[in-house]
Amino acid sequence: MAKIPENELARQVMKGDRGAGARLITLLEEGNESAREVMKSLYPHTGKSMIVGITGGTGTGKSTLIDLLIHDFRQSGKRVGVVVVDPSSPFSGGAFLGDRLRMQRHACDEGVFIRSMASRGYLGGLARTTAETIRVMEAMGADVVLLETIGSGQDEVEVIRVAQTCILVIAPNMGDDIQALKAGLMEIGHIYVINKSDLEGSIQALREVEAVLSMKTYPDKAWKPRVLSTVATEGKGIRELVSAIQEHNVFINQGARADRFRFERVEYELSLVFKNELERLVHEGLKGTGKKKKYIRKICDGQSDPYTIIAEVLKNFLKKGSFDPEK
């Protein structure tokens, strides 16, 4: 997008202008200060979309499933935003973002906005700005936001902080029932999908997941996870998956549940904003002073340690209300 004055951005994003939305997401990724001003005016217009997280191991078929979900939601006239996260290189900082190419069925559809994000070193299966990107899509008018995490292993569970409905995608032959019993990723699904269920081993995978879930105890009126089989490349099982998503959506909007989710989502976002802001202030305060290098040197030389340094930096910061490394 060509340069847009910042005060114009918010208005254009809310009109659903994709170029403006895309630009704002970049500014957020860059940690641009004006992006925060834009977010202030957008924020009250967000929080109403249905957010569905799709997580699971590398190559289990998450992106291909999303392609089908986009199609289904479009058939029922919903506007769809999609955020897909792939890892950044720990060496070069670059990234190969290869999820979008599986979602080209609606490549020219005005009702679909897809954004690929590199994780940029952020852990937890998302990027640092994923939660904000979802807010931007909500402000752009998305009825549904689909969020694909990094291909996850065992502990990339942050998706449950931002998505109301969480789908865990599993492919057959990824390990025995001991893997399914572990804490972390295997616990977070509202819907479990055994994709590639035309492959050998898929019935066993289905039984193992069902068995493990049946060992859990559920409080009264709690959601009992659904387990489904799909073949994404052939579109098999997608209707059932969409029904399960809708069922869960009805469930979470009953009683106090919707409010509890909103609270938890804001709690997550707030702690991120705190962390980011503090880091930014410290970083900006240190920039160009050479202090950071001196701190590192001091620690390396055994004259200090990270805890003493951070206590010093924070004490100074909190007292002054602004960061001044010279004092």
Partner 1 sequence: MKSDKKIKVIISKVGLDGHDRGAKVIASLLKEAGMEVVYLGMYQMPEHIIQAAIDEDADVIGVSYLSGEHLTFTQKITEEMQKKGLEHVLFIAGGVIPPEDIPTLKDMGVAEVFMAGTLTQPIVDYIQQQARK
Given the rule CB under 8 A, which residues bind partner 1? Answer: 1-2, 18-19, 22-23, 25-26, 29-32, 88-89, 91-98, 100-101, 104, 107-108, 113-116, 118, 120, 128, 276-277, 279-280, 283
CB of 128 to partner 1, least distance (A): 7
Residue 95 beta carbon to partner 1: minimum distance, rounded to whole angstroms? 5
- Please give the backbone phi and psi of residue 99, each rounded to the nearest 5 degrees, phi first: -95, -35
What is the C-alpha separation between 211 and 157, in angstroms, rounded?
A: 22
Phi, psi of 229 (to 5 degrees): -115, 140
Distance CA 110, CA 101 (A): 17
Question: Which CB sits closer to partner 1, 19 or 306?
Answer: 19
CB of 2 to partner 1, least distance (A): 5
**HSE of 176, CA atoms in CB hemisphere, 13 A:** 1
Please name which of 7, 15, 80 lies closest in space to residue 40, comparing C-alpha atoms: 7
With CA atoms as reference, report the closest residue to 134 among 21, 279, 247.
Answer: 21
- What minimum distance in Å lies between the beta carbon of 275 and partner 1? 9
CB of 17 vs partner 1, minimal distance in Å: 10
**45 or 120: CB nearest partner 1:** 120
Nearest-approach distance from CB 89 to partner 1, in angstroms: 6
Closer to partner 1 by Cβ: residue 116 or 197 = 116
- Residues contacting residue 1 through CB under 8 Å, at least 6 positions apart: 19, 20, 22, 23
Decide whether 257 or 280 has the Cβ nearer to partner 1: 280
Exposed/middle/buried for residue 68 (C-beta within 10 Å: 0-12, 13-18, 19+): buried
CB 128 within 8 A of CB 147: no
Residue closer to partner 1 (CB basis): 27 or 228: 27
Closer residue to partner 1 (CB): 11 or 236: 11
- At 27, list the tokens: 């500014």
